[in-house]
Amino acid sequence: MPDNEQMSEGLENLASHGNRVNYIVTHDGPTGSVKKLAQMRGFDIAPDKLNEYLEQIRTSVTYDAWVFGHHHLNRRITDKDTVLYDQVLRLV
């Protein structure tokens, strides 16, 4: 789990690049995506500090695709957000 200083540095780095990246790859996902995933699977989830930080990034950064794998399944959550476990995703 990143500390507050590391999270601030991450936001500053993104801002220095105009809050625009092609791909985001993280261990867990932003709150909005994790909640959608939980709904798809029929349960609720309580987001933690990391999910909330990643949600801040999701709402402030323009990106083409976000991939995370913490939940050990393969599922497209939105047109941009995907959870991966053992599937290969071609990034073009």
| Statement: residue 91 has pLDDT above 80 | no
Tens of pLDDT, residue by residue over 1-49, are 899 999 999 999 999 999 999 999 999 999 999 999 999 998 888 899 9
- Is residue 59 one of the residues assigned to a domain? yes
User: Exposed, middle or buried: residue 33 (CB in 10 Å: 0-12, 13-18, 19+)?
Assistant: buried
CA 55: distance to chain centroid?
7
Report the pLDDT averaged over residues 72-79: 94
In a domain, 71, yes or no: yes
Q: Which residues pair with 62 in a beta bridge?
A: 20
Is the overall model pTM greater than 0.75, yes or no? yes
How far apart, in whole angstroms, are the C-alpha atoms of residue 44 and residue 26? 21
Is 69 inside any structural domain? yes
Is residue 89 in some structural domain? no
Of the pLDDT bands very low, low, confident and very high (cuts 50, 70, 90), residue 90 is: confident
Query: Is 48 part of a structural domain of the chain?
Result: yes
Q: Does residue 80 have a pLDDT over 80?
A: yes
Number of domains in the chain: 1
Domain that holds residue 58: 4-83
Helices 49-60 and 4-16, packing angle to 10 deg: 10
Residue 37 lies in a domain: yes
Instruction: Please give the order of strands across the beta sheet that includes 75-76.
Output: 23-26, 65-68, 81-83, 75-76
- Residue range 71-75: mean pLDDT, rounded: 93
